[in-house]
Amino acid sequence: MPLTREQLVKFVKEKAGGPVGALDDDTALFSSGLIDSFSMVDLITAIERECKFRVAATDVSLDNLDSIGKILRFVNARTAVQAK
Amino acid sequence: MSHEIRKPPIAIVGFPRSGTTLLRRLLDAHPHIDSPGESYLLSACARFIHADRVVDGVEAGVLGGLELLGTSRDEVTGRLRKLVFDLRDERARRVGKSRWAEKTAIDGFHLDAIRRIFADELTYVCVIRHGLDVCVSTLEWCQRIESFPAELHRYVAQHSQPLVAFAHAWVDVMQALERLQQDGRERTFVVRYEHLVTAPEDVLRELLEHLGETWVEGLVDGALASGLPDGFGDWKAYGRVTVDARSVGRWRSLSDGTLRQLAPIVNPTLSRWGYDPIDLDGELTQAVALRRYELSLLAQRAKLTARNEAEVRPPAEPQAN
């Protein structure tokens, strides 16, 4: 089951541990320090648990994970590959 | 005993960082209640009667020692009680109030001894807060003051991870509050932090009714608008000028691994006090722990790579007008 935008917004808000301003698909999550790298571990384990695939070492990058939009694109692409 | 002040004094008790200072400030704004900064009176009395259990179960301390010299335990605790009542009655009169409330952050750790001294001569207001929010806030507080209060240090000495230590300490204080509630329900009122910060007026109205005091319009706003702190207190709580619920649920920012360690410690107590237990998917097996460790290294590498790439990237050309 792919992750939804709502799930990711909830995750980011919880992990931020304080008020989060405007949060859209392009808001930088880790490079901006909005959430820390421990939260990246939680994010990846959540992706693996929910989407039933293992995130490869080469896929752990800010190109794939630094915004809600990037995460959704990454998850959708990997889920599509899995489905083939 | 001849006290001019008839209504029983109030002891605000709870774990540090549970909202006791906020409640103290709110009560202090009431025209009848003097609830100033921390005096340490109650915990000092508790320490005074502390005894070490030695051979054959003998309690070696001031109560046993004086008893052997001919002064009864009741006499000693009565004199301590009188000392506290005299000092605080005097202070309340000085500021024109008819009743006093005592709050010192560490009193919760000494609750059993405090009850032994003051028995039913105090009305207890227990402030409770979600255990993990308390742990997060306590960690922040200890980092800020660059030390652990002695009552917490005892736990930190036993548990190398401060959050684990605080979780155990929270459970112990909550158990003392539970004993207090069971033994003297009519003398006890529970304030839940999460309600206090979302509906302060409702909570305060109910509490004042329990205390036999009248509601005063503008109490909440007036309390937080007051100026400099009156005595010792929590630097963070004094920074508050409004009551809001931003600090509720901060525990969710803790990592999954940390939550897995803390959940078994706090869950039974959370449930007993009406909070949802921490519910986590799956177990923290060694394989899961190792995978998380591997991912934390990869996450660090990802951030470092991105930073290095940003540093070597040439600055953008200035745009021609």
pLDDT digits (tens, 9 = 90+) for B230-287: 778 776 666 667 788 888 999 998 988 899 899 999 999 999 999 999 988 767 788 8
Q: Is the separation of the CB atoms in B153 and B165 below 8 Å?
A: no
**pLDDT at B41 (0 to 100):** 97
User: Which of A24 and B288 is assigned the larger pLDDT?
Assistant: A24
DSSP state of B128: E
**Does residue B121 have a pLDDT over 90?**
yes
Of these ranges, B4-13, B246-255, B303-312, the one predicted with the greatest mean pLDDT is B246-255
**pLDDT at B2 (0 to 100):** 45
Most A CBs within 10 A among B242, B284, B303, B304, hence the mutation to make, goes to B303
**pLDDT at B237 (0 to 100):** 64
User: Tens-digit pLDDT profile for chain A (84 aa)?
Assistant: 578 999 999 899 888 877 777 889 999 999 888 888 888 999 999 899 889 899 999 999 999 999 999 999 999 999 888 777
Q: Return the ∠ at Cα B264 (arms to B13 and B185), rounded to 5°.
A: 30
Q: Is the separation of the CB atoms in B31 and B216 below 8 Å?
A: yes
Pinpoint the alpha helices (H) of A1-84. Answer: 5-16, 37-51, 62-65, 68-83
Q: Which helix (H) or strand (E) holds B124?
A: strand B123-128
Percentage of chain B with pLDDT > 90? 71
- Cβ pair A60:B296 closer than 8 A: no
- Our CA dihedral for A15, A18, A23, A28, rounded to 10 degrees, sits at -60
Q: Which of B6-15, B122-131, B282-291 has the lowest mean pLDDT?
A: B282-291
Q: What are phi and psi of A67, to 5 degrees?
A: -155, 165
- Cβ pair B305:A41 closer than 8 A: no
Residue in B253, B288, B299 nearest the CB of A37: B299
**Tokens representing residue B22 in the block:** 């906020």
pLDDT band of residue B110 (cuts 50, 70, 90) is: very high
Most B CBs within 10 A among A12, A48, A50, A62, hence the mutation to make, goes to A62
All residues of chain A having their beta carbon less than 8 Å from the beta carbon of residue B252 are 14-15, 17
Rounded to an integer, what distance in angstroms lies between the CA atom of residue B31 and that of residue B225?
Answer: 15
- Determine whether domain B10-129+184-239 maps to CATH 3.40.50.300: yes
Could you identify the residue written with the tokens 């409702």?
B202
**pLDDT at B320 (0 to 100):** 56
First to last CA, chain B: 88
Rounded to an integer, what distance in angstroms lies between the CA atom of residue B87 and that of residue B220?
Answer: 27
Tell how strand B51-53 and strand B59-61 pair up. antiparallel
**Does residue B5 have a pLDDT over 60?**
no
B223: helix, strand or coil: helix
Q: What is the DSSP secondary-structure string of B254-306?
A: S-HHHHHHHHHHHHHHHHHTTPPPP--SS---HHHHHHHHHHHHHHHHHHHHH
**pLDDT at B315 (0 to 100):** 66
For chain B, domain boundaries: 10-129+184-239, 285-311
| Mean pLDDT, residues B35-59 taken together | 93
Tell how strand B10-14 and strand B123-128 pair up. parallel
How many other C-beta atoms can be found within 10 angstroms of the C-beta atom of residue B314? 5
Q: Is the separation of the CB atoms in B298 and A56 below 8 Å?
A: no
Chain A, residues 24-53, CB within 8 A of chain B, namely 30-31, 37-42, 44-45, 49
Most A CBs within 10 A among B247, B254, B295, hence the mutation to make, goes to B295
pLDDT band of residue B294 (cuts 50, 70, 90) is: very high
Could you identify the residue written with the tokens 């921490």?
B278
- Chain A residue nearest residue B251, CA to CA: A17
- Cβ pair B302:A16 closer than 8 A: no
Rounded to an integer, what distance in angstroms lies between the CA atom of residue B309 and that of residue B317?
Answer: 18
- Cβ pair A31:B302 closer than 8 A: no
